[in-house]
Every structure is written in C-alpha cells, then in structure tokens.
Structure 1
Amino acid sequence: MISYSVSGRALVVALMLATAGPVNIAAAQTQSHAPAQGTAKVPGTTLSIDELYRAKSLIGTTPEGYSWSADGATLLFLWNDEGYGFRDIWSYSVKTGKKTRLTMLGRDAKPEQRGIGQAVFLDRGRVAFTLGGQLHIRSANGTVTKVETDKQGIRKLAVSPDGRQLAFVSGTPADPRNRVAPGGLLWVRDTAATAGNVARRVAGDDDPKVYVDSFHWSDDSRAIAFEQADDRLMPERDIYYYAKGELQNNRVIRAFPGDETTKTRIGIVDLASGTTRFYERPEAKDPVWDYGLSRDGKRLFISGSDMEAKAHTVYVYDVASAARETFYTLREPKHLRPDWKVAWAPGDNGLILLTDRDGWLHLYHQPSAKAKPRQITSGKWEIASFEVDAAHNQLYFVSNQSYLSDRQLYRVPVAGGRIERVSTAAAGTNEPVYAPDFRHAANFYTNDTTPGELYLLDLAKPGSATQVTKSPQPEFYAQIWANIGYVEFPSHVDGLPLVGRLSLPANYDSTKRYPLIVGSVYSDAVQNQWGGRRAHPTWGIDQYFVAQGYIVLNVNVRGSWGQGRDHNQTQYNSYGETDINDLESGVRYLVDKGYVDPKRVGIWGSSYGGLMTIMSLSKKPGVYAAGIAGAPATNVWHAYPAQQWIMGPPTGKDMPARYEAQSALYQAQGIKDPLMIIHGTRDPVVLYSDTVALTEKMIAREQMFELVTLPGANHGWDTEGLDQTRFAFKKMADFFDRTVKNKK
C-alpha cells in the first residue's frame, strides 16, 4: 500500500445532476460545488452493456455534416431521428424553423451501412450527396439520380462560390499489384448538369501514391488551390493476420521514425486554361498545416513546420510569379503541439495567426512580412479554432476562456477590444459551422449530461439558441446517469496545476471509499461533453462502471491542449513519465479526500493510453490494482514520424536510450499487478506484432497477463460493430470486477 500526503488544495467541482427530462442548455451551470454530503441515495442506471450498446442507439444518432445554402436561409445536415446508424439528409429552414427529411435511404439499409457521407446544395432545390463513395443528385421533387458512375471513392464535395461548379475528389483506379494507396483525383462538374459522367479532371496523378488530399476554391471561382501528397518514397508494410479462417494481408504505406515520409506540394489550377503551377517550399517533406488564397486571388500562404513541430513558418507567394517570401517564423525548442492556424485578414490585409508565441494559443494580426504580429486576444486560456468574418471585420473563435473543460463561442473585432460571448450561458462544448453571411451558425452542442444535438445560433442575438434535433430515445431520460464534475489538484511531483473530470455514482455516499477507474487515459481527455472523449464509444462503459459502484477519473495530462505551453512542453521526450505522474497525482488526490479506496484502483487506455497504462503498472507498482491496455503503443520506434513532436528525432547521442525510455516494450519489467491487453490483429497504427513482442518478453520473465485478440480488428477495436464492442467491453468489466472492485 502506498502512502499519500494531503495536498491542502480545495476541491473544485462542477457537478451537473442528470434529470428525468431534456436539459435546458440556456440554464447557467456552476463550477463551484462539491458532491452534496449526505445526498439521498437514488438508483443509477440498471442497464447492461448489451442494453447500452444496441442497434437502435439509446443516446440517438448525432447530427453531422452541416452545410449551408449560399443565401444562408437553409441548412443541410445528416441525421437519423430513430437512433439507427444510417444518416439520411435533412434540411432546416431558418425562416420557418421547420426541419424536413429529404432522403429515405436508411429504411432499406443494412445495419452495418453508415449512411450518407456528405451533402451540399446545388441549385433549384437540388442536393448533391455521396453514398458508398458514389455521387448522387436529389432533385427538388425528391428523385435521386446516381451520376459519375465511372468513378469510385467520391468525397470532399465543394460548390464554387458562384454556385456554378461542383468540385470533388475521387479515388484512382489502383494498379492490381498495389492496392495500398488511397489515390485522389480532383474533378469539376457543372452544377446545372443533371446526369451522366460529365466531370472534367483538373488535378491529380494516375499513380495512386500521388493524390489530392484537400482543396479550396478561389473567391472568383476561376481557380482551385490544392494539396498534393506524394507517398512514393514511403515504405510499404505487410500486416499478416488470420481472420475468416484463413491468412490475410493488410498491406499499407506506413513510415516509422527515420523513414521517408509524405511529401506535400501546394498547387493552383486555373480552370479556364487547365494549367497548374506548384509553389515550392524549402523542405517538401515538412508537414503543411494550413494554406489559402487571398480573396483577390493574387497571393497564397502556406503554413508549415518541421517534423518535430518546433519551428513554425508561414510563406506567402505571389500567385503569378511564384515568388516566395518568409512572412512569419517562430522557433521554440520545446514546443509540442502543432495547433497553429492561419487565415487571410479582412481586405487581404495580411494574415490572422493562431499561435502560442506568448505561451497561450491566441489570435494575432500581422499585416506584412516585416511587421510585428499584433496580439488581438490574451489571457491564461486558449483558442481552439477561429473563422474570419471579413464583411464585419471581426473574428469568431472557440475557446476555454470560461473553464478548461468548456468550448464556448466568442467574437472580437480584428482591431481588438471587447470579447463578446456568442454561445449560451451553459457550460459545455460548442462546434459551430457558420452561414456564408455570418448571420447564423449551425452549432453542435453537448455537455456532460446531454448527448450532442444541433442548435441554430442567431449571431445577432448572443446567448440565444434554438434546438433543431432531439436524438436520445425516450428510455434515455428514464435513467439516472452519473454525477459528473471537475476536480483541480497539484502535481505531486512539481506542483503544476492539473484538472480532472470526475464521474460519481448517482447515489454517491460520502462515508464510503469507492473503487476507482482511471481512464480511458489519453491526452485532451478532459472536456465537458457527453461521454468525455468522443474518439471511442466509451460513454456506455463509463456509465456502466459508475452504475456498478466505481468512480471514473480522467486527467488533463501534460501534452494536452488548454493549459498553455508551460503545461504541455514538460511532456517533451517524456512518453510514459511526466504523463503517468499526472495520472498518479489524480489518484493521490482522490485518496486524500476520502473518495477512493487506495487498494482498489484500476487504469485503462487505448493506443497512447495503452502505453500509459503499461508504463503506470510497471513504474508505479502498488498504485494500481490492475490495468487494461487496448492496442498499446508499446514501441515508439514504430510510431508515426509525426509523433517526433513529443519523442524527438531518432538520432542523437542519447539514442537508442531515449526511445527505449519512452517505449513500454523496454520498460515493462516492473509489472506485478494484473494486466489485460486487447488488440486487433489488422491494426496498421499500432502493430499487433509489437503486442506479441511484449508478451514474449513477459512470458520469459514469468509475468502474468491476459491477452484478448480480436481477429481482423483495426486500431479502433471498440468501433467495429456491436458484437465486437460488447464482447470487448464485457471482458473489461469482468476483468476490473475480478481484480479491482472485488479485490480483497
């Protein structure tokens, strides 16, 4: 048993009790009270894992894929009002407040079909959309016609600003000997066309390893700027696995640190002449984070950095001559996160930069290459994203100004001055998509007790919101869900302030000490939204754990967004060290405060979270009773090269010791407590062979573990069908009940 020292820091919690009806997001929510002492006991949800994860989703199907009409009067979105997975197209009228289902394709869909991928307005009430990688057009009378039938993998639909042309990317017919590359050809089709294969190819290469990755229309609709990726020098790797009773091979293009990586070029194609010009950078292998044409079409910016994300550079080019100037540059030796964003300022008066040059991610205006960036926003909070409302000389941005876990919408004049909150007073997460005239925004809103819904924001009336969808099934409101809030505590190592998201049983009893599950552990794990992290469907397993009498904790570990550069840069070269100390600090704090039984603490996470789980069990014996590592990234020698922003380059006098210190494969000797590993054999992100390498070492050392192999499963092992999700989560629940909850 480990001893803990009392931190002396007061508990700060935002606890929002679930209700028996819909949550009114306009109601203010506080962040100031701890769990009510002596709260009357009420039952938590009694649902099983099978009942939580079902074909007709209890929490409903989230609305996605928002797209505005050119006049900002009508919104398209993808949704299923019955809770099934297939999303059809819906429209919403700003004037009448009426939503209408435009397609009924989900009624005949198979359970595994995910629905329509994207929908955009054309003209005369017509809508273009993708389904199964095929392009369709829905006429105003509801007739659906499949077009461009000679193309596969159609995606990234974008209508030109003048409304006359539709651009899209399609796959490249792959060489039969090589089907590993995604391919990507850029096409343009007249929106007036109603049938046939009439699109003309404007960019892309027949080699599927050279492909258009993204593109932007010019404001005058005469040109398209595009990003071309070239994977020809990257290695191909065979991932052999058994599934469906026979040997399979998932051959992928996959670089390890030190290998050749994707080379990126930005080009502009003139649609009238068909000519393309590329705008070269000094290092084509360095990543591009943003690019964009000026509104007059005369200049192009490209924002990029080195592979380690230590030096941020923005180049500006003269479109006609391709002459390049270095517009902005900043190098920070311990910089970690490539969160920079760039856009043209109103009137093409230089650039708006989102950068952490003062230690926090804020907005700056730089009118010319020789000018000093002028700071527009400031404070000990960070901005996640922004958009330029050029017509009104203002910037809309999403930030955590109100609280670390929040994502609220604000606006500020480009000239600086008063920041105005646009989203409602309710705590939570907002993800807006703005109408072309910035009069309204389609807003995905969620909080800790409310699954995500579509709201309409009237930007002329800050604080107002009209709910458009209601997704959860009636049974959702009959349950008593977890009591969720936030705790603040210092690191037990260096005192740095940390924040955790805490889920308590609805009938929490302050006289008891509860078993604790830390996880799923990851970076950016503390956010006020339904289910915590949305990358995995863990909302149900978290609720199940809490209903079974566990407390669940997520910690905003170093390397996470939201607490400034000083907070995250201490994670540099520190996978499995500083981060797992932060997790332990959360455990110590809850034990000190009397919430948790120190003998009954479990930890789990997937991918990077699996790395932290194995490192925690090895380096901190006795802190955790058991751990579950899903698809664990045990060997950073096999990480993506982009992860060098934390682990550093695979060169130098401190190699290979530096990489081995950050790899669980080489650090697992100390594991004495129960470990379960869950991994899919087809995984190209974290190789199953790395899990095998770890288990071989553990067997040689006579260390006990449990291995759950999911044949043919990919990296998202808990997202590949209900059967697999239920199976894996039941294995997890049984393991933690045996090793944590019922531990003697």
Structure 2
Amino acid sequence: MANFRYFRGFATAAALVALTGAGSVAYGQVATHAPAHGTAAIPGTTLSLDELYQTKSLIGTTPEGYAWSADGSQLLFLWNDEGYSFRDVWSYSVKTGKKTRLTFAGRDAKPEAEQRGISQVVVLNKGHIAYVLNGQLNIRAANGDVTKVETDKKAVRRLAVSPDGKQLSFISGAPVDPRNRVTMGGVLWVRDVAAKADQAARRIAGDDDPKVYVDDYHWADDSRSIAFQQADDRLMPERDILYYAKGEAQNNRVIRAFPGEETTKAQIGVVDLASGRTRFFERPNAKDPIWNYGLSHDGKRLFVSGSDMEAKEHSIYVYDVATAARETFYQLREDKHLRPDWQVAWAPGDDGLIILTDRDGWLHLYHQPTAQAKPRQITSGPWEIASFSVDTARRQLYFTANESYLSERQIYRIPVAGGKMERISAPKPGTHEPVFSPQFKHVADFFTNDSTPAELFLIDTAKPGSAVQVTKSPQPAFYQQTWANIGYVEFPSHVDGVNLVGRLSLPANYDPAKRYPLIVGSVYSDSVQNQWGGRRAHPTWGLDQYFTAQGYIVLNVNVRGSWGQGRDHNQTQLHSYGETDINDLESGVRYLVAQNYVDPKRVGIWGSSYGGLMTIMSLSKKPGVYAAGIAGAPATNVWHAFPAQMWIMGPPDGPDMPARYEAQSALYQSGGIRDPLMIIHGTRDPVVLYSDTVALTEKMIAREQRFELVTLPGGNHGWDNEGLVQTRFAFKKMVDFFDRTVKNRK
C-alpha cells in the first residue's frame, strides 16, 4: 500500500504525533501515515484570486541574483522587502550579519508597472558595485553615488569580474530568449574596473551580423584569456507569427526551427586579451548542442561537453589551447537516452574531469583522470544529483541531490577521492539552490519548501546543518492564512507496476469520510518537488491554494521522462508523448479513487505546453476518466516542436514516419474527446504556434466536439505569467470552468 509522506511545515511535533499515531516526530522530519487527519475545523485560505495575486505580493519577492565578493565577506542579492516586483541591490555582511539596502531605484518605479528592477549585480573593489537596470550598466561607489557607464550599449547582461578583480566583462545587444531564438546580437566587452566613466570598454568577441552572437563566456583563472560560446543562426528559418492585438494586425517575426530543419551552429573560442587573437575549436558536427565547457586551471586545456541532437551520445572533447589539437576524452552512447542532464568540470589540480552522468542508471559523479580511462564512480545509490561544484583547494565536491526523497534537493559534499558523504544543508525538507563563496566557506542558499516561500539563508560549511535566515519575504497577512496540507503519495503504475510519486495538496479541513473533486495538474515533467507552489515556472501557487480552499484536491505526478527516479524510469517515455505519461497520470487518479480520497465522477485535468498535450491526449484516449480538461498553449503538433524535443520524439525521418509523429500529436489524436475542453492560448506564442490551436479547433468543429477557446491577444507562451491582469483573467476562467464541469457536476 502506498504511503502519504507528511511535510506540513505549520504543524508542531505534537500535532504530527496526533496525526500519524506514531512515536515522537521532530519538526521537519518525514512521517508516513494513512491520510486520516480530518479533525481540523479551519477551511483554508479565505482569499480570493484578486487577493492572492496583487501588486504587493502576499508571498513576497524572492531574493535572487546572488554575488559574492572575492574574499567571501560580502554577499549581494536582489530583493524587495515590501513585496513589490521591483528588485534593488542589498548587501549582507558575513562578519556582522547586517543586511543593508544599497540602491533605491525602486523608489521611482510605479508598483502597478510590475517592473522586475535590477537584473544583475557584481562586486567590484573599494566598495564599488556594478549592476544592470533596464539594460543599462551602472556603477555605484562606496559613498552611494551612481554613475551610468557604457551608455551607447543596450541590453547589457552576464556581468562578470575577472579573477584578479581588475576587469569587468559583459555582453551587450538585445537579449536572446533560449526558448524563442530571436537573435538580435550579442557582443562581449571587457572594461577596466579602474576606468573613468567616459572610458569605453574593449570589444573582445562577437560579430556585426546580429545572427552571430556570443551566448556565454568564462574567465581563465589567470585573467589573461576568456573562453566563450558563439552561436550562428544564419541558416535557421525565419517565421512570421501574424496576430491581432491593440486593434490592429501585428507580426512577431522569429528565428524558429522545426524538427529536421537547420539549427544553431555553436562554436567555442578562446580569446587572448593581450593580443586580441581568438582561436576557435572545431567539433565533428558544429550543429550538435554544447551542454557546457571550461578551461583548465592552468589555462592550457579546454573541455567541451556535448551530444548529438537526440541526446543519445554524450561526448567530451579536450583541446590543447595553444594548438587546437583535439582528443576524444569520453564518449558513451545509450540509444534510449532522453535527458541531457550531463555536467562536467575540471578536477582539482587539472587531474582530468569530474563528470555527472547516468551511466549506471542514476545521475552520479565520476572522476576520469585521462582520455579514454575508465571513469571512477564517486557517488552511488538509487537517487540522483542535480548539480555540483568543485572545491579545488580542499579537493571536495559539493552537490545537490534527492538522496533523502524524490522531491528533495539537499546540499551534500564528498571528497574527490570518495568516501563518506556529508549533508551540509539543515535537516529540514525542501529545495536548496546554493551559490558558494569563492573559498567555499559559506553558501548563499535559496531555500523553499511546500509551506515556505523562497528565502535567502546563509550556511557555514564548517558547521553542517547550520543556517542563518537573511530575508523574510512574505507579508504579515501570509502568516494569518491557513494553507493547504501538502504531502506525497506513492503508488504503482496500473500498466507496468513501476513506482510513481505524486505531490498531493489536501484542503486544510480534509475529511476522510468525504470524497472530493480532484484537479490533476498542472501536469508536466519534473512537477513533483518540495517547494512553495510546486512548479516555479508558473505562478500557480495561488491557484492551487484557491482550489484546495474551495474543496478540491490537487495532484501532481512525476511522470515518466522526469528527473530523479533513474534512467529506467524515464526511458520508457521514448517516442511516447501522450501515451506512457498519461497512463502515469491515470494511475494517480485510480489510486486516489481507490483510497477514497476522490469522487471518480469529478476529476479535472490541466496543463500548459507539453502539459496541454497531455491534457488533450488524456481526454481523447481516456474518455470518462476526466470530467473536463484545460489545455494552455497546447503543443498539439510535434512536427512544430523545437528540434530539441527529438530527445523524446525521435528524428522526423525513417520508415515509421509520419505515423510515429502523428501518434504523439494531439492534433491527430483528438477524435476521442467527449468531455468538456477549454483551450487558453496567446496569439503571439513562438514556442507553440497559435495556428496549431486553430488547426485543432477546425478539426473539432468539423467533428462537432465541445470546446471553449480563451484567446489572449498578443499573449506569449507564458500566458499565466505576463502581468497580474492577464493572470487573474485566465485563472478566473479556469476556476469558473472547473466549477461548472467538475466540482458541481451532477
């Protein structure tokens, strides 16, 4: 029988004992029990959607953009202590524990404008800092005076200070959205930190053609050279996305490839700053994606980690920087591989590479000292690592992993030589995103869990388990509400018996004698994580809380293809959009019905993008399982997906085409829809084309199938995260639809 894992942050230890019927349980520990905890009389939050989503955010403004000083004594971050969206620069002193606001640009911002504010900050010398506001580079002196510099440059981004602290680098040109490859240029510049305001930066890399641009870069340890990634979109197709907004015709012209078409050509170059000479390093196929790259500590070698377009073969090449001679350092092919989660870094002393790979079936760390040598495994177990950093001085590896439970992201360390793994983060369930100080003495920790919106904590690595809270973001009214009861259920797939995990949100006054209406969603991969709001990519925390307060249960399922449960778990998703994944969702519904949580006649499902594909496929292939569904920006036609989706879809050629792509496309599989469907889509969307939604609705009209279409004029792919007015409008539409078709269904 499956377990319900209880992480209720507001409960006391005594309450946990009462709920579980077990022995004493300390705060933050996991207890397992049947969910018979319906004695609470409180109904949950009483807030409306308008109150949940307001300009002055109830949950506060997340602290972001962490940047350490070179000596690790000062931490800068971007935050707003009043809950508005505009972020200013704040400083935290490790020695004194004092938090100080350094900029006040937000004073002149109108709260209703929903401006993000300062986008990045770095620490210079002598008390100076550099930051970017509205794409403009600014320098703040120790006395608080602010000077705009490089005023002829637009869209400044990716600030970095050289290791010797003498130079400031940045990219300028219109930003490149990684999901919408609108290429408007990207030039790499270097500016002397001691330069006067009217002294211009030196152009280091980049092209006059806006379709050839610098994507990313890294400083060499000796500050004498920079490795950078240059992208070339000149062969990629351009597409016109025509739509109406603001009372007239509009055109969003984008560079956008479909599977099988020309993609970005990527190169790694190294530029010597003294001479200005650049050397590029060729790969066997320049159109294959690059996942990461890095110079050795002595600057003499360069690794480039990449794969084929389908992410089936992972290759790491190592180059001699002086001659560009290439050797194949590591290569592994897995024909069923789906996820390019690989990461690579130089080992301490340039003793080969540290590689994060799932070669044993789980994402773990390996040390490979020389080319073609057998990698030595450092970590192991039925759990996975999400990211890692190398402490070269102490020959240690820091990493985040779900060793404690699937939904967790805890911080650990282990010697490069192997040995005992030590947990660094505090013994409290949740999600950690660390930024380490230069000497690895402290961690700037972005922490959140199911009951706690994200905050900045400081961890002393010499005192594992310690944590000092730096920010307090939620507004006072947040603590006056009763939020949903969130935990985790495990159940077998009804198709093949594979263990599945779900994140379950129950009403605060859950009554085990009742059967509740259920909302499955928002459905997506990687949707089961112990953090406030579940999936942070969408602002659905308030919508989910509203649903539970209105008497719904909300379920997210870690569908096949997701991170965290190993390669065997996710590989069954190969060529299986709208098949294995929707079976996993149905398994969650079946489990909750069997456990008497849910009324089987009142189940709704929703998701956006890939989640929209799963929603439409579920309604079509599983009539009667769901009373209704909502598909936001639904990816109905995989012929129009990004080429990267070939990880799962496979290439668009071969003897089984077009049948294979049509089998994975809701556009061709929607004939079975009998239950109510709502589609929400923005007309300017370059990721999932609005024209694909039109093609689907034409088919459904011809078949006289029921649906409702909510069109958002000028809306983009992130339709629920484009301003509070549109968010509230769309979410109210969703609530009304589910109340009519699910909750109040006769």
TM class by shorter-chain length?
A: over 0.9
Aligned-residue offset at 1:42: 1.4
- 1:694 is matched with 696
CA contact (8 A) 2:328 2:372 kept: no
Q: 2: CA distance between counterparts of 1:197 and 1:531?
A: 46
Amino acid at match of 2:46: T
Aligned-residue offset at 1:173: 12
- Residues 1:597 and 2:599 are matched in the alignment: yes
Q: 1: CA distance between counterparts of 2:174 and 2:383?
A: 44
| DSSP-derived class of the 1:13 partner | strand
* Cα deviation 1:94-113 (Å, max 9, x = unaligned): 00000000001111113232
TM-score when normalising by structure 2: 0.97
CA contact (8 A) 1:150 1:197 kept: no
Amino acid at match of 2:533: G
Q: 2: CA distance between counterparts of 1:93 and 1:137?
A: 20
Distance 1:173 1:584, change over 3 A: closer
CA contact (8 A) 1:526 1:532 kept: yes
- 2:3 is matched with 11
Amino acid at match of 2:95: K
User: Matches of residues 130-169 of structure 1 in structure 2 within 5 Å?
Assistant: 130-169=132-171
CA contact (8 A) 2:482 2:508 kept: yes
Aligned-residue offset at 1:378: 0.3
- Residues 1:53 and 2:53 are matched in the alignment: yes
- 1:545 is matched with 547
| DSSP-derived class of the 1:562 partner | coil
Q: 2: CA distance between counterparts of 1:292 and 1:18?
A: 44
CA contact (8 A) 1:299 1:317 kept: yes
Q: 2: CA distance between counterparts of 1:38 and 1:255?
A: 52
Distance 1:173 1:46, change over 3 A: closer
- Residues 1:67 and 2:59 are matched in the alignment: no
Q: 2: CA distance between counterparts of 1:473 and 1:80?
A: 11
Q: 1: CA distance between counterparts of 2:240 and 2:376?
A: 50
Aligned-residue offset at 1:31: 3.7
| DSSP-derived class of the 1:585 partner | helix
Aligned-residue offset at 1:180: 4.6
Q: 1: CA distance between counterparts of 2:568 and 2:84?
A: 44
Q: 1: CA distance between counterparts of 2:745 and 2:198?
A: 66
User: Matches of residues 342-357 of structure 1 in structure 2 within 5 Å?
Assistant: 342-357=344-359
| DSSP-derived class of the 1:242 partner | strand
| DSSP-derived class of the 2:90 partner | strand
| DSSP-derived class of the 2:500 partner | strand
- 1:95 is matched with 95
| DSSP-derived class of the 1:589 partner | helix
User: Matches of residues 104-253 of structure 1 in structure 2 within 5 Å?
Assistant: 104-110=104-110, 111-171=113-173, 180-253=182-255
| DSSP-derived class of the 2:260 partner | coil
| DSSP-derived class of the 1:667 partner | helix
Q: 2: CA distance between counterparts of 1:514 and 1:260?
A: 50
Amino acid at match of 1:732: M
Q: 2: CA distance between counterparts of 1:315 and 1:232?
A: 25
User: Matches of residues 699-718 of structure 1 in structure 2 within 5 Å?
Assistant: 699-718=701-720
Distance 1:329 1:63, change over 3 A: same
Distance 1:591 1:17, change over 3 A: farther
User: Matches of residues 586-625 of structure 1 in structure 2 within 5 Å?
Assistant: 586-625=588-627
Q: 2: CA distance between counterparts of 1:40 and 1:226?
A: 57
| DSSP-derived class of the 2:6 partner | coil
Amino acid at match of 1:11: N
Amino acid at match of 1:78: L
* Cα deviation 1:520-566 (Å, max 9, x = unaligned): 00000000000000000000000000000000000000000000000
Q: 2: CA distance between counterparts of 1:590 and 1:11?
A: 12
CA contact (8 A) 1:172 1:208 kept: no
Amino acid at match of 1:436: P
Aligned-residue offset at 1:35: 2.4
- Residues 1:80 and 2:80 are matched in the alignment: yes
Amino acid at match of 1:10: A
CA contact (8 A) 2:244 2:250 kept: yes
Aligned-residue offset at 1:182: 2.6
Task: Give the number of aligned pairs.
Answer: 729
- Residues 1:305 and 2:297 are matched in the alignment: no
Distance 1:605 1:38, change over 3 A: closer
| DSSP-derived class of the 1:617 partner | helix
Of 530, 533, 536 in structure 2, the residue corresponding to residue 531 of structure 1 is 533
Distance 1:466 1:668, change over 3 A: same
Of 289, 292, 300 in structure 2, the residue corresponding to residue 290 of structure 1 is 292
Tell me which stretches of 4 or more aligned residues in structure 1 moved more than 3 Å.
Answer: 17-20
CA RMSD of aligned residues (A): 1.5
Distance 1:37 1:451, change over 3 A: closer
CA contact (8 A) 1:17 1:484 kept: no
Distance 1:180 1:530, change over 3 A: closer
CA contact (8 A) 2:7 2:450 kept: no
Amino acid at match of 1:16: R
| DSSP-derived class of the 2:195 partner | coil
- 1:331 is matched with 333
Amino acid at match of 1:14: Y
| DSSP-derived class of the 1:150 partner | coil
Amino acid at match of 1:280: E
TM-score when normalising by structure 1: 0.97
- Residues 1:522 and 2:524 are matched in the alignment: yes
Amino acid at match of 1:710: L
Aligned-residue offset at 1:205: 0.2
Q: 2: CA distance between counterparts of 1:742 and 1:480?
A: 24
Identity %: 79
- 1:6 is matched with none
Amino acid at match of 1:71: D
| DSSP-derived class of the 2:399 partner | strand
Aligned-residue offset at 1:193: 1.7
* Cα deviation 1:337-356 (Å, max 9, x = unaligned): 00000000000000000000
Amino acid at match of 1:339: D
- 2:28 is matched with 28
Amino acid at match of 1:743: R
| DSSP-derived class of the 2:548 partner | helix
Aligned-residue offset at 1:38: 4.1
| DSSP-derived class of the 2:218 partner | strand
Q: 2: CA distance between counterparts of 1:12 and 1:171?
A: 50
* Cα deviation 1:150-178 (Å, max 9, x = unaligned): 1101000000000000010001799xxxx
Aligned-residue offset at 1:39: 1.8
Segment drifting more, 109-118 vs 333-342: 109-118
Aligned-residue offset at 1:502: 0.1
* Cα deviation 1:600-625 (Å, max 9, x = unaligned): 00000000000000000000000000
Q: 2: CA distance between counterparts of 1:142 and 1:166?
A: 19
Q: 2: CA distance between counterparts of 1:132 and 1:172?
A: 12
Amino acid at match of 1:432: P
CA contact (8 A) 1:172 1:185 kept: no
CA contact (8 A) 2:9 2:452 kept: no
Q: 1: CA distance between counterparts of 2:175 and 2:69?
A: 33
CA contact (8 A) 1:15 1:33 kept: no
- 2:44 is matched with 44
CA contact (8 A) 2:38 2:509 kept: no
Q: Which has the higher contact order (CA 8 A, sep 6+)?
A: 1
Q: 2: CA distance between counterparts of 1:17 and 1:585?
A: 28
Amino acid at match of 1:623: V
Amino acid at match of 1:18: F
Q: 2: CA distance between counterparts of 1:373 and 1:180?
A: 39
| DSSP-derived class of the 2:365 partner | strand
- 2:20 is matched with none
Aligned-residue offset at 1:197: 4.6
CA contact (8 A) 1:394 1:413 kept: yes
- 1:5 is matched with none
Q: 2: CA distance between counterparts of 1:305 and 1:189?
A: 34
Distance 1:139 1:17, change over 3 A: closer
- 2:316 is matched with 314
Q: 1: CA distance between counterparts of 2:146 and 2:569?
A: 53
Segment drifting more, 194-203 vs 218-227: 194-203
- 2:18 is matched with none
User: Matches of residues 353-392 of structure 1 in structure 2 within 5 Å?
Assistant: 353-392=355-394
User: Matches of residues 325-474 of structure 1 in structure 2 within 5 Å?
Assistant: 325-474=327-476
* Cα deviation 1:593-651 (Å, max 9, x = unaligned): 00000000000000000000000000000000000000000000000000000000001
CA contact (8 A) 1:239 1:684 kept: yes
Amino acid at match of 1:44: G
What stretches of structure 2 of length at least 5 have no aligned partner?
A: 13-25
| DSSP-derived class of the 2:356 partner | strand
| DSSP-derived class of the 1:571 partner | coil
What stretches of structure 1 of length at least 5 have no aligned partner?
A: 1-8, 21-25
